[in-house]
Amino acid sequence: MRVFSLIAGLIFFFSGGVLAQQKYWVFYTDKQDVQFNPYEYFDGKAIERRLRNHLPLFDESDLPLQESYTSTVGMMVDSAGFQSRWLNAQIVYAFDQQIQALYALSFVKEIILIHPNENQTISCELPIQNEMPLQYQIRQKDDLMRNQLMSMEGNLFLDNNITGKGVRIAVFDIGFSEVNHHPAFEHLRGNGKILKTWDFVKNTEDVYAHGTHGRMVLSNIAGVWSHEMMGLAVDAEFLLARTEKARTEPYSEEENWLAAAEWADKNGADIINSSLGYTHHRYFISDMNGQVSLVTKAAAMAARKGMLVVNAMGNEGQGDWKFLGTPADADSILSVAGIHPETGIHVGFSSYGPTADRRRKPNVSAYGLAIVASGDSLTKSQGTSFSTPLITGFAACVLQMHPDWTNMQLLKAIEESGNLYPYYDYAHGYGIPQASHFVGAAGPEPSDAFHFKTENGQLIIEVEEASITEGNNYLYYHIQRQGKSYLSKYSVVKVAHTEVVYIDLAYLNKGDVVRVFYQSVVKEFVNE
């Protein structure tokens, strides 16, 4: 008998409590007669952002939910939770009979069951931290810490006193342990640059616990260690939001992301840094189309509110999944891939694009191995989680220089500043953004050092012998089929000889384009 009781208990446990109350989104038809004063609700910076982005001061998605609707529903269900202005929807916990009763309400547009939480281990980050021996550590750290910024020509921003001043950045993460006393953030605390914090998991103000990932990420936006910058936006203002649960990833994290985005909007964020993503635990690769996940819809909505969302591509490049996670698949956001500091090209773990509907992702790249703030010192860590804040810091500097730019102008300009631009591939995007594009300094000297030739039925890409150098000297090329909007093939070759690439002409159809990047010059061959 005891055995059967045990089995019955297990069945109930694993069934997710089918017979118990469940969690739903209740969507409302309208926000009729809702009063709203944008000057009372929004921070002044949020108003500024709307004006800068040529948006109305508010639209219907900014209004609160109709209180008579929410109170009616609240009385008919077991309990009610988060209300999303953007979605005009509310989370409720209810039994099936209660949900059936809600359908009868004329102002209820749609009810969607939120499936039971699928608890998983963390997949959105790859914080492999290697504490190095102290004596070795300093030299190594100095090199990498300098280069993670120099690779973006960050010194040019600093020379021009551009440090993200006046730009407000919201950081969504798992927790910001030690940020309240770590020396790397002393300047932020001392100057009152951490404006607001909110833990959307526990609904408290304290975000300085639960995880170190947020601390490491923040350090790559604005950390300073012994007068050395770890990120480029050391004078920016910050809103810190905890949206992730430690060790598990229930679906509620996506709801938290949405809630945090609305909070960031209200509090005047210009940029959202999101070093997280969701993949196979909840989704299929075909879902990575910018349409399916709640978090990708929230990211797209944040972009429509004029915020620049900077999101990590993910660390699945060497796994079965391989492709980007969500919300990196969202339209109109900046998705960031990782570069290996030693090779200067795509680092293996960085997830690849394109999106499932063949849009270009990633947009740009930055170092995927970086020096970050550890417990009370510095450490080396890896993951696109850390490429992302490097780009966020860069974006803040550009926005400081161009405070009148819309978020889409900003996004486009950062893409155009990529060291590969206008060349593109799904591993690097447009490459690493370069500050020289914005401060008027001379970039690398382009050298017309390669040409195409056809010989014996082959297309040969040949470089000048003088251009062959020791070290990281790469030629990038991709093939775009005639009439296709996406790339069919892309490759990076380390140049050691003059004839670098052979492509069988029979492989190319009429109108196919072979586009090549070598030493800052892009050329294309169109197969006639």
Partner 1 sequence: MYMKNLILLIGLIIGSMSLNAQDVVLEESVPDSLVEPKFGPNYRHFIHTFYNFGVMVTESAEATAVKAYKSGYQLPIGIRYKYKLNNHVALGTDIYYKWSWIYFDTERSSSSVYTQEMYNIGSWGLSPYLRINVGKRGNTLGKFIDLFAYGDINSMRHYFYEQETNSLDPMLLGNYAEKVEVNYKKLSFMNTYNYGAGVRIGWKSYSFFAQYRLNELLLENEVPANLNAGEVPMLLVGFELGL
As a whole number of angstroms, the distance between CA 165 and CA 236 comes to 5
State in angstroms the smallest separation of the CB of 468 from partner 1: 11
Q: Which is nearer to partner 1, 237 or 255 (CB)?
A: 255
Classify 346 in phi/psi space as left (phi over 0), alpha (psi -120 to 50) or beta: beta
User: E strand or H helix at 479, and its extent?
Assistant: strand 474-480
State in angstroms the smallest separation of the CB of 309 from partner 1: 22
Q: Which is nearer to partner 1, 137 or 343 (CB)?
A: 343
Q: Is residue 507 at the binding interface for partner 1, with CB under 8 A as the rule?
A: no
Size of the site for partner 1 (CB under 8 A): 52
The first and second tokens of residue 388, run together, are 């992302």
Q: Kindly identify the residues of this chain, within the stretch 424-453, that bind partner 1 according to CB under 8 A.
A: 425-427
Residue at 281: amino acid letter: H
Question: Applying CB under 8 A, which of residues 287, 316, 329, 415 lies at the interface with partner 1?
Answer: 287
The β-bridge relationship of strands 194-199 and 237-242 is: parallel
| Cβ–Cβ < 8 Å for 219, 231 | yes
Q: Is residue 38 at the binding interface for partner 1, with CB under 8 A as the rule?
A: no
Q: Is residue 412 at the binding interface for partner 1, with CB under 8 A as the rule?
A: no
Q: Which is nearer to partner 1, 46 or 461 (CB)?
A: 461
Q: Is residue 14 at the binding interface for partner 1, with CB under 8 A as the rule?
A: yes
User: CA distances (Å), 134 to each of 30, 141, 375, in order?
Assistant: 61, 10, 15
Question: Applying CB under 8 A, which of residues 38, 70, 486, 527 lies at the interface with partner 1?
Answer: 486
State in angstroms the smallest separation of the CB of 241 from partner 1: 25
Cis link prior to 362 (omega < 30° from 0)? yes
Q: Is residue 490 at the binding interface for partner 1, with CB under 8 A as the rule?
A: yes
Q: Kindly identify the residues of this chain, within the stretch 296-335, that bind partner 1 according to CB under 8 A.
A: 320-321
The residue range among 6-14, 67-75, 83-91, 393-401 that interacts with partner 1, by the rule CB under 8 A, is 6-14
Q: Kindly identify the residues of this chain, within the stretch 328-367, that bind partner 1 according to CB under 8 A.
A: 343, 345-346, 352, 354, 356, 358
Q: Which is nearer to partner 1, 280 or 304 (CB)?
A: 280
Phi and psi torsions of 337, nearest 5°: -100, 170
Q: Is residue 292 at the binding interface for partner 1, with CB under 8 A as the rule?
A: no
- CA 173 from centroid of its chain's CA atoms: 11
Contacts of residue 135, Cβ cutoff 8 Å, sequence gap at least 6: none
As a whole number of angstroms, the distance between CA 285 and CA 427 comes to 17
Q: Is residue 281 at the binding interface for partner 1, with CB under 8 A as the rule?
A: yes
Contact pattern for partner 1 over residues 119 through 158, marking x by CB under 8 A: -x--------------------------------------
Q: Is residue 5 at the binding interface for partner 1, with CB under 8 A as the rule?
A: no
User: E strand or H helix at 26, and its extent?
Assistant: strand 22-28
State in angstroms the smallest separation of the CB of 474 from partner 1: 7
State in angstroms the smallest separation of the CB of 475 from partner 1: 9
As a whole number of angstroms, the distance between CA 233 and CA 167 comes to 9
The first and second tokens of residue 302, run together, are 């944040």
As a whole number of angstroms, the distance between CA 97 and CA 243 comes to 32
Exposed, middle or buried: residue 132 (CB in 10 Å: 0-12, 13-18, 19+)? middle
Contact pattern for partner 1 over residues 451 through 480, marking x by CB under 8 A: -----------------------x------
| Cβ–Cβ < 8 Å for 391, 334 | yes
Residue at 272: amino acid letter: I
Q: Which is nearer to partner 1, 190 or 483 (CB)?
A: 483
Q: Which is nearer to partner 1, 181 or 484 (CB)?
A: 484
Question: Applying CB under 8 A, which of residues 499, 507, 524, 526 lies at the interface with partner 1?
Answer: 499
Q: What's the residue count for the chain?
A: 528
Within 233-329, strands assigned E span: 237-242, 271-274, 308-312
Question: Applying CB under 8 A, which of residues 280, 304, 359, 523 lies at the interface with partner 1?
Answer: 280
How many C-beta atoms surround the C-beta of residue 227 within 10 A? Answer: 5
Residues near partner 1, by CB under 8 A: 3, 6-7, 10-11, 14-16, 18, 115-116, 118, 120, 279-287, 320-321, 343, 345-346, 352, 354, 356, 358, 425-427, 474, 484, 486-497, 499-502
